[in-house]
Structure 1
Amino acid sequence: MFFPTLFQLAAKAVAQQIHNDSIPIDFNFDTKSSNEVVRHLLELDPKNIVKLKTHGSQLSRLTELDLSECEIDVEGISNLKKFNLISLEFGDWYHLRTEFPHPTNSSGIDIVSLLERALKSDSQKMMVHLGFTGEMEDLMMGWERNISKLLPSLQSITIIADLIEEQRWFSKFCHTFPNLRVLDISYVESLKGIKHLKNLQKLVMGYELDEDVYGYNELSELKNLRVLDVSGESIEIISSLLQAEVRIENLEFLDCSMTLVEDHELKEFVKCHPKLKTVVAISTECNNSYIPTIDLLNFNSHDSTMKSLKYALSNGRDEPAEACVQFITDKLIKFPKQLIDSEIRELINALSYVLRETEDQSTKHLAIFCFGKSSFFETKRFFNLFWLEIPGIVELIFKSWESFKWSGMKRTAVPFILSVFKRIVEFLRFGRVFQDRLMYSIIEKTIELSCQYPENIRKVTFILIEAHRFMSLEQSTVMCNNKKVMEGLFEYAQIFIKHNTFSNHRIMETIASYLNQASENTLKHLVSNCQAVEKCYEQVMKISSKHSQKNLSQIVLRLMTVINQDDEKALTFMACSILSLLLAKNLTDDRVYVNSIIEEFNNSWVRSNILDCQYTTEVLDAIFTSKHSTDTLIRFGLILMSNFIHAKKFESREYWNWIQTTSAGVQNNEKWTKKTRDSASAVLYEMAMIKKKWWCPLL
């Protein structure tokens, strides 16, 4: 039921590529394709109206154009003459009033001049539909007469505008366009005169009239009227029609969605119109009504609900569509056990269709809410029914989220998306092995969300830890070399510094595990492009968990395997500072190996320039006050001191004196090796030279 045609899918895909400027068009579209592609283009972004200038030759067969959401400039208006338009809808035109000024109203617009500029002569003769949204008062007096002359073939008009104060306007309008077959109009004070529209087949009235019931009785004279749409919020239109004793002889279709209509009123109206075949009563007091003589679109049954949603979506009815999705959501949250498998499948397919096809963000948000909130989506029944479709559903949910234009709506949807991911990962505990595509997608998207919305730290942490715990060896191997994921993990670890939660060490353990399998190329990327060593340096100074710090030791040791000590002295210096701190705190499992790395650095150290690292004082304090410090560690600390005094000079008299006292203590203590005592002597000598060169009375 909810499957678009191949043509619709192709048109939407082409529109997306044109929107992204990622497809060269070296062919011309036919009329049907031009209309569909342009429609999707403007739905993606109304600013795509400029594409009609750049792709005019390829879309030259365009005949239908809806500008109701676009702000088209004067050049764009003139550009419309390239096309043989037979259907045109305008949106706001206030910005065009300077170019097409109203002769008597400075804030008005000359719509006839505008149409003459926009339409070639053939289009003027063949135009069958015209629509506009805006202030009716902006138009020239007698505009309807002038337009009827300019566009003699008009059969359909849509006017969505503010209230027209002139009471006789609508009657004049009906006399001017006696051949109309379709009329979509709102905010009129009276329907008097509508009886002159003898050929009218479809009438859309979005709002109740402000007058008494006598304005409705002329509807009975419309013998050709087949479709009546009176849907709208908080109006009692059916009651008014019954009071006016309206009898539309050949009426076949009625839409009274979102209106205030009672069950008995609707049944009475149907009784008075024996040719009625279909009534749409979405989100009314008749949600659960049943009338055997007609096809009633409401929420009375599963089939009726599906028909209602399809009708709302295919006709661009956002509010009824949202009401349908809300009803589906309630069923999946409250009564999933009462639904049979075929009904469940159809409901899920309907939600997926909503995410894929509707442009209304509120409706999409509600569908995402349903996926995230209903406990049905954590049951074995769901996974058994939709095992193969789950990867597609996940991608569809995330793609819909990316399409949200409002940051607030994006933020509120994130917890529901993460709930979906969390439930999928939890299902791994039952021994299922996820498809590679699904596993990679969940981790990548969770990482992306974690960095943008850190307030969801608990769900994110659970997903990342449990997914890593249960993934296969092959999946882990692929993931550890996914540079985007690895970068995201390091960024997420930075977020943890502020929260210092009990799960810190689990995230650090996950990173360490990935790095153990990562390729040399991935490690180099993390060191060079992700500032991984710098991030570790900041983390080791701020996190207090011993487990996390031990994992940091493994991470740094792995990263050091790709650091060139000769060319990347600063990184080596920083990495050794981290290791020395962990060694001093006895937070590394392989002390001998770590000690040997620091020893190698000590032996190769030549101070060619001054390296100023943040947190040096904390590292020095740990080294020279720890009972776990080795001779190698003390020597590295002296190298840090040498670097520190050149970088900081006389910034702190107290710390200067501490360095001097500590160095002297090492120099005079034969517990340390000659190399180490010589390093202490070198520090004292450099301090003396600095003091002599930069003499300061405070020192």
Structure 2
Amino acid sequence: MSVPSLLDLTSSQVMDFIFEGTLPPSAYQLDPVISNRLFEEYCRIYDIEITKSVMKEICSRLNVTRVDMRHCVVQRSEILILQNLNLESLMMGSLMCLEPKQITAPSTTLKIEALLKRCLNEESRKSLKHLDLSQTGNDYLDGWVENISKLLPSLISLGIAGRPLSATEFTTLCTCYPNLRNLDISNSNVKDLKGISNLSNLEVLAIGGLEVTDMKEVFELKKLRVLDLSSRECLCCLRNLLEYFLSCHKVLPDLRFIDCSGNFANPDMIANLLETHKTLQQVGLIGLDRDFPDFPDVKLLTFTTMRASIEAIHHYTTTKNYSAIVAILKKISDILVENYDGETEVTLRECFYALCRVIKEFPDGQSLHKLVTECLRIMCRDTRIYMLSVSERHDLVNTLFTICDHWPTYKQDFEQSETIHNVWRMFQNLSFLMTKNLNYRRIFETAMEYVMDEGTMIGYIEGCCLKVMGASVDQMSPSDQLSIFVNRQTCRHLLDLLNKSYKLNRHEIYRLVLGILYKMVAQCPEVFVEMGGVWILIGHLKKFNYYDSLCMLRILVTSKQQKIVQEMGKTDNVQRLVRFLQACATELDVSPNTYMIKEKTFILASILSEIIFHSKESHLKTIYWRTVTRILREVLIKLSGAPTCSIDTIFFETYYETPRGEDLMETPIEYLKRNRDERGCCLYCLLQGV
């Protein structure tokens, strides 16, 4: 069982207090470790307005030194907060949504050094040691490399993966940053590494995805401990950086880890690498779907087995290597499909924890979320869910809702739609929904949000959500069911959806909604009637005359509530019921499904009989009601197969289920008046004409 730390448990609550303005006043400022953790929590919140009071609380209460906004869209509020922090590390997020006054023309071109000067106060500019601009998403004006070196003199770590660098900019980089210890220029379009030897203090270098062939200058970096040759884009197309590295026939004396993921390699090449670099402790080989022999004292990061994949995913989650995690998740999915039964329960549960960690560390990882949900769906299908403990299943629910929260506009993107579909397919699993103490109300209400989302066509996701809504209601306690069904807005939404599916002729969707409304009618018939459900349901009988629809009307009319019976007895409703009754009676002689037609006809007769039975005597004497009664009698006689003159005790027993041979001390009319059930009402109406 995974137990979160006390810091994790309290961080979210403290941020809630800050946003609500209920944090107790204090002059005490939190230490950097706790402050950094709280600011991480702040960066996860993207759908709440940041007010001046919130910014003031963050700046005055927190002593933040490390900011990671790589998964955020930076707004003006974040810039104002950064101005009041004394930072040592800044990982910037997307800058595409900043106001025009902070971006020069064209709109995607940014004077990054001016923005950094605005974000960072003088103290931060002096002390900042780590800067990552990989996720900003903008082009920069010429001269930015040199200008940043002047602005941030203490910089020892720079990440600009995926940012195109010209030959001039790379040369400037190698000249103006002599103190760099960590440099990530992966997928930066650099063609030649000439000049990199000037960065003699480098300990970590990432050059994956570069189209370079000459790597001799890399061997001048004698302090290099980590060399990353893996691309940050896609590992499916193997590159040859490892081959170029080995062709230099030189040695990096202090190299501990080399990541060859996404590069061509075979066992002989790895053996050669380890033979020349005795200091190596770990080698990354993700993307190479082949077996490698074990090498003493060296750990190989591969994804050939489930156990190896779990270890690799933890490593690359820590290093934030998106492309490597994508490759690993695809492999895990294949392993689960091909060899689920061959994996131990312990291994599968460790895989579950690893998948949940990916969601936590990459809240905006669109492709990752899709792959994670595919893996979870395979892993937790049907009774496989029992592999997880009850608490782990509750964790799974929270993880799934976290995924849903991150993709509110999923309809605009196929990959996001597939992710959301996977989530609700998991919730469809009845074995999962039967877990004790799940928050069924939250599941129901979230599913309804997807179904009722404005402008959404009723598609496969909405169909899944409707099935989940029906199943979750079945698992709820009676009190929870009541709390949902008394909500008039819920009833209105369901009736709107019922009407929408009727107009679109969507029978499957109609029946799913009808099933939920059936449960509502059983619990809160008055709410259904108040929101116009009777009018809608009777109006739909012309095309969608389902057995459940008629049963719902029968429940309503036999509820003994005067307002409901009065609503059912309105002229328009009775007229439509009579027309449908006549149509059913006509089908009795021609329909191959005679039994079902008889059932529907009898239920309709029961409904009308109940309405007549509770009508005022003065109304029944009118021509209209006498006509309705006559039609009803004719249908009942047709159902019984006997003429009016043969109505006797046997016929009475047949319909009213009185034990045969019982001595009836009362006349049928007297007995029926005292025992008012649906069959009694039918016979009452029938006998009125005797």
Shared fold (TM-score greater than 0.5)? yes
User: Where does 1:633-644 land on structure 2 (aligned, <5 Å)?
Assistant: none
Please say if 1:237 is aligned against 2:241: yes
Residue 674 (structure 2) aligns with: none
Deviations along 1:78-112, whole A, 9 cap, x unmatched?
6633221222344566868966879xx99976555
CA contact (8 A) 1:280 1:297 kept: yes
Q: 1:460 to 1:47 in 2, by over 3 A?
A: closer
The higher relative CO (CA closer than 8 Å, separation ≥ 6) is in 2
Establish whether residue 390 from structure 1 lines up as the match of residue 407 from structure 2. Answer: no
What is the deviation of 1:280?
2.1
Structure 2 equivalent of residue 539 of structure 1: 540
Q: 1:192 offset after TM fit, Å?
A: 2.0
Residue type of the alignment partner of 2:285: A
> Which one of the candidate residues 177, 192, 203 is aligned to 1:201?
203
Which residue identity lines up with residue 515 of structure 1 in the other structure?
A: V
Tell me, yes or no, if the aligned pair for 2:110 and 2:139 is still in contact at 8 Å: no
SS in 2 for 1:32: helix
Cα shift at 1:300: 3.7
Shift of 1:238: 0.7
Corresponding residue for residue 682 of structure 2? none
Find the partner of 1:592 among 588, 609, 627: 609
**Cα distance in 2, alignment partners of residues 346 and 275 from structure 1:** 30
2:316 aligned with 1:315 = no
Residue 551 of structure 2: aligned partner: 551
The residue that corresponds to 1:39 in the other structure is: 40
Contact 1:100 1:113 in 2 (8 A): no
**TM-align CA RMSD:** 4.6
Structure 1 residue aligned with 2:338: 334
Q: Is the 8 A contact 1:128 1:156 kept in 2?
A: yes
Q: So what's the TM-score if we normalise by structure 1?
A: 0.71
Contact 2:113 2:148 (8 Å CA) reproduced = yes
How much has 1:458 moved relative to structure 2? Answer: 7.1
Determine the C-alpha separation between the residues in 2 that align with 1:271 and 1:531: 81
Q: Is it true that 1:221 corresponds to 2:220 in the alignment? A: yes
Q: How far apart, in 2, do the equivalents of 1:269 and 1:601 lie? A: 102
CA distance in 1, matches of 2:74, 2:509: 54
- Report how far residue 276 of structure 1 moved: 0.9
Q: Match for 1:365 among 340, 363, 370? A: 370
Q: CA deviation at 1:602?
A: 4.5
SS in 1 for 2:209: coil
Note the alpha carbon deviations across 1:56-99, whole angstroms, 9 max, x for none: 43455222234556665778656633221222344566868966
Within 1, Cα distance between the matches of 2:610 and 2:59?
70
Q: Write the letter of the residue equivalent to 2:545.
A: S
Answer yes or no: is the 8 Å Cα contact 2:113–2:147 preserved in 1: yes
Cα offset, 1:251, TM superposition: 0.7
Displacement of 1:339 in angstroms is 1.2
Q: Provide closer, same or farther for how the CA distance between residues 200 and 338 of structure 1 changes in structure 2, counting only shifts above 3 A.
A: same
Alignment CA distance shift 1:30-1:78 (3 Å)? same
Q: Which amino acid aligns with 2:373?
A: I
> Hey, what's the Cα distance between the residues in 2 that align with 1:571 and 1:13?
55
Give the % identical residues: 21
Question: Which range moves more in the overlay, 240-249 or 324-333?
Answer: 324-333
**CA 1:478–1:45: 2 relative to 1, 3 Å:** closer
Q: Match of 1:412?
A: 418
* Amino acid in structure 2 at the alignment position of 1:180: L
Which AA in structure 2 matches 1:122?
Answer: E
2:170 corresponds to: 170
Looking at structure 1, the residues matched to 290 and 121 of structure 2 have their Cα atoms a distance apart, in angstroms, of 49
Residue 409 of structure 2 corresponds to residue 403 of structure 1: no
Aligned equivalent of 1:662 = none
- Alpha-carbon distance in 2 for matches of 1:621, 1:505: 33
Shift of 1:49: 7.9
Task: Report the counterpart of residue 179 of structure 2 in structure 1.
Answer: 179
Aligned CA distance change for structure 1 residues 531 and 256 (closer, same or farther; 3 Å): farther
1:191 aligned partner: 193
1:281 maps to: 285
After superposition, the Cα gap between the structure-2 partners of 1:326 and 1:601, relative to the gap in structure 1 and judged at 3 Å, is farther
- Pairing of 1:465-480 with structure 2 (within 5 A): 475-476=477-478, 478-480=480-482
Conserved? CA contact 1:321–1:363, under 8 Å = yes
| Equivalent residue, structure 2, for 1:649 | none
* Structure 1 residues 244-259: aligned runs within 5 Å: 244-259=248-263
More deviation, 124-133/36-45: 36-45
Distance 1:571 1:37 in 2: 62
Find the aligned partners of 1:113 and 1:504 in 2 and give their Cα distance. 58
Structure 2: tracts of 5 or more residues without a match? 585-600, 637-684, 686-690
CA distance in 2, matches of 1:480, 1:460: 20
Is the alpha carbon distance of 1:539 and 1:76 closer, same or farther for their aligned partners in structure 2, counting shifts above 3 Å? same
Query: Residues 520 and 528 of structure 2 are in contact (CA less than 8 Å); yes or no, is this contact kept in structure 1?
Result: no
Superimposed CA distance per residue, residues 387-434 of structure 1 (whole angstroms, 9 cap, x where no aligned partner): 553344244324423422432445434553444344325x89xxxx75
Conserved? CA contact 1:194–1:218, under 8 Å = yes
8 Å CA contact 1:164, 1:188 repeated in 2: yes
- Find the counterpart in structure 2 of residue 424 from structure 1: 430
Q: Tell me if structure 2 keeps the 8 A contact 1:476–1:514.
A: no
Residue 371 of structure 1 and its aligned partner are, at CA, apart by 3.3
Q: 1:203 to 1:574 in 2, by over 3 A?
A: farther
CA contact (8 A) 2:183 2:204 kept: yes
Which has the larger displacement, 88-97 or 308-317?
A: 88-97
